[in-house]
């Protein structure tokens, strides 16, 4: 964006390029993001420039919007404002977000994919992904030992004291206790917890690195 122009000047410059420019949406975004119309773009803060980018991109109703690290360097409040703006005004637009800020994607993304060393390790809906993975802690009546041949669906298997922990990647609630009992004798208690997106990616990436190594 040309730093010498004001917010108002740049929006005026853009409108003629897009016959379907939505002036009503433009005004909504300007108010929602509290963009100062008479301020030069070069004088905007980093967060304000990100808001300006969305205010320039959304009014012509693009079919695809590509965002590369859109939340990098932003404070939590600005991140929330950008996310809210996207969710509220997205309409029929598909958004492709590339980001390492995984916590910001959990409330935004409907589908996720993970690329490691140029390979796509998985791509699926957020609902399916979070439904099939769980953090599991198994308390035993004896000292825990990592099984030599545990199920292939267990990742990050770790033994500490009498507790064996792992990430289950094919979680089925009714089947898990029996599968654990078949591998681990002396089960006293099984604790199953949902897993956040960062932990999911970490578990899968470390497993891929282990197999690659």
Q: How is residue 95 annotated by DSSP?
A: E
Tell me the CATH class for 7-109: alpha beta
**Residue 165 neighbours by CB under 8 Å, 6+ apart:** 135, 136, 137, 138, 156, 157, 158
Tens-digit pLDDT profile for residues 160-189? 999 999 999 999 999 999 999 999 999 999
What's the CA gap between 95 and 108, in Å, rounded? 10
Domain 131-212 -> CATH class: alpha beta
Of 172, 175, 102, 103, nearest to 131 by C-alpha is: 172
- pLDDT digits over 72-113, tens only? 888 888 888 888 877 877 777 888 988 887 777 887 888 999
Phi and psi of 113, rounded to 5°?
A: -140, 155
Q: Where does the chain hold its CATH 3.40.50.300 domain(s)?
A: 7-109
Query: What are the tokens at 37?
Result: 């119309």
> Is there a contact between 111 and 81 (Cβ–Cβ < 8 Å)?
no
For the whole model, what pTM was predicted?
0.72
Residue ranges of the chain assigned to CATH 3.30.70: 131-212
């Amino acid at each position: 964006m040309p730093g010498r122009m004001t917010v108002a000047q740049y929006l005026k410059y853009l409108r003629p390029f897009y016959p379907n420019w939505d002036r009503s949406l433009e005004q909504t975004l300007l108010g929602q993001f509290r963009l100062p119309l008479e301020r030069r773009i070069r004088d905007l803060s980093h967060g304000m420039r990100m808001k300006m980018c969305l205010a320039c991109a959304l009014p012509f109703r693009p079919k695809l919007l590509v965002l590369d690290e859109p939340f990098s360097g932003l404070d939590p409040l600005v991140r929330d404002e950008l996310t809210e703006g996207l969710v509220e005004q997205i309409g029929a637009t598909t958004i492709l977000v590339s980001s390492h800020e995984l916590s910001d994607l959990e409330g935004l993304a409907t589908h996720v994919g993970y690329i490691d060393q140029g390979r796509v390790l998985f791509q699926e809906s957020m609902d399916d992904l979070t439904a099939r993975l769980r953090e599991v802690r198994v308390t035993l009546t004896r000292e825990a030992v990592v099984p030599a041949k545990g199920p292939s669906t267990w990742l990050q298997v770790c033994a500490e004291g009498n507790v064996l922990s792992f990430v289950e990647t094919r979680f089925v609630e009714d089947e898990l206790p029996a599968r654990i009992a078949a591998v681990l004798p002396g089960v006293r208690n099984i604790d199953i917890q949902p897993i956040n997106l960062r932990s999911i990616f970490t578990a899968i990436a470390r497993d891929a690195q282990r197999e690659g190594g």
